[in-house]
Chain A
Amino acid sequence: DAKTTQPTSMDCAEGRAANLPCNHSTISGNEYVYWYRQIHSQGPQYIIHGLKNNETNEMASLIITEDRKSSTLILPHATLRDTAVYYCIVRAPIYSGGGADGLTFGKGTHLIIQP
């Protein structure tokens, strides 16, 4: 799986958009970008994933650059409950030979939403 680089921590004011960057310059053509988050001591929670196109769901938007070497997770209106560690993960889907192992989590970005 391609390696990802994320800032260690970020602050964002409540009510503003939180933009979390992720670099994945060695990403392969069949590898997806996944985002998970972990609120303190809870189980990680899936947020969103994408391959090439930008994606949006009820939680967030994922913007992937045209060369796919980086992406940004956007939380449009951050609340205090969005304070968490956010993990960017890159891997190929299992059905296309992406391996049978679980997702590999790095250090992530500790996002702190300020009131």
Chain B
Amino acid sequence: DSGVTQTPKHLITATGQRVTLRCSPRSGDLSVYWYQQSLDQGLQFLIQYYNGEERAKGNILERFSAQQFPDLHSELNLSSLELGDSALYFCASSVAAAALNTGELFFGEGSRLTVL
């Protein structure tokens, strides 16, 4: 158990809909990262938040957005869903102190999104 909690574990929805994925980082971790993993793309970095603020963006679509709340949990919002958005979405967190952050990420078990 990595200490990172993601909900829901599975989600089935229709094209055009909107969903929200939730992530609770490890206790004390200030950074949250979102990744998308589809069969043909591998693990793609989407976005990072640090202590409530956006820190870095990767290959995140404009239809997707995220935020990190004061209690440090994060939500990834996916809207106008397309068939191609079907994937595993992983959240990861990293240790709080930047001086100790050598890049070790702790991943949750993921949320599997199926768009029909």
Contacts and interface: CB of A to CB of B under 8 A. Distances in A.
User: Do A and B interact with each other, yes or no?
Assistant: yes
Nearest to A42: B109
Interface string B19-51: 000000000000001010000001101001010
A7 interface: no
Contacts of A42: 109-110
Nearest to A90: B103
B11 interface: no
A103 B45 contact: yes
B15 interface: no
A43 B26 CA distance: 14
B56 A93 contact: no
Interface of A is mostly: loop
Interface of B is mostly: strand
A36 B43 CA distance: 12
Interface residues of B, number: 29
A32 B104 CA distance: 11
Interface stretch (A16-24, A64-72, A94-102): A94-102
B103 A98 contact: yes
Given A102-B33, A102-B56, A105-B45, 13 more contacts: A34-B103, A36-B105, A41-B110, A42-B109, A44-B105, A89-B103, A95-B99, A101-B48, A102-B35, A102-B48, A103-B105, A105-B35, A105-B42
19 contacts: A32-B102, A32-B103, A34-B103, A34-B104, A41-B112, A42-B109, A44-B90, A46-B105, A49-B102, A93-B101, A94-B98, A94-B102, A95-B98, A100-B50, A102-B45, A102-B56, A102-B58, A102-B105, A103-B103
Interface of B: 2, 4, 33, 35, 42-43, 45, 48, 50, 55-58, 88, 90, 92, 98-99, 101-110, 112
